[in-house]
Amino acid sequence: MTLIKMQDFLNRSVGWDGLFQDFNRNASNFPPYSISSNEDGSSNIEIALAGYSKEDVNVSLQDSVLSISSEGTEKPNNKNYTYKGIANRKFVTKFAIGKYHEVQDATMENGMLVVKVAEVIPEEKKVKSITIN
């Protein structure tokens, strides 16, 4: 059902196809992430970035698309790995941010990047109570 609604939306819209193609082109399982809701109505995008520092990661927002990227952290070292399971490679991951939502904060601690996104409804869009005279 959802797929049918999405196809109907694409068939009846102009200018959105490039956005969805962009998301498909960058679809990847790396880095792993979770999206959670907070009691205050905001949401957190949590991204596991073991081995990355905040200087290695770029977070930007343009045209309601949140982009998180890194050029990677592969630095020459003298280590001879028997097994290297921690990926420090280049990546780009994107998230669509809804209308009336804004990125409020981005923090990185213990290998987890947390981006807080909150709904901010303009006063003219909020429900107004009308007094009956």
CA 58 and chain centroid, separation? 12
Q: What is the pTM of this model?
A: 0.71
- What is the pLDDT at residue 114? 97
**Model confidence band, residue 79 (pLDDT cutoffs 50, 70, 90):** confident
pLDDT tops 90 at residue 112: yes
SS3 sequence of 65-105: EEEEEECCCCCCCCCCCCCCCCCCCCEEEEEECCCCEEEEE
For 84, phi then psi, to 5°, come to -120, 100
**Model confidence band, residue 1 (pLDDT cutoffs 50, 70, 90):** low
| Mean pLDDT of the region 97-110 | 92
pLDDT tops 80 at residue 77: no
Cα dihedral 63, 68, 74, 75 sign: positive
- What are 24-72's pLDDT values in tens digits? 555 568 899 999 988 988 899 999 998 899 999 999 999 889 999 999 8
| Mean pLDDT of the region 90-108 | 91
Task: Answer whether the bond into residue 31 is a cis peptide, omega within 30°.
Answer: yes
Whether residue 43 contacts residue 35, with contact meaning beta carbons closer than 8 Å, is answered with: yes
Whether residue 18 contacts residue 81, with contact meaning beta carbons closer than 8 Å, is answered with: no
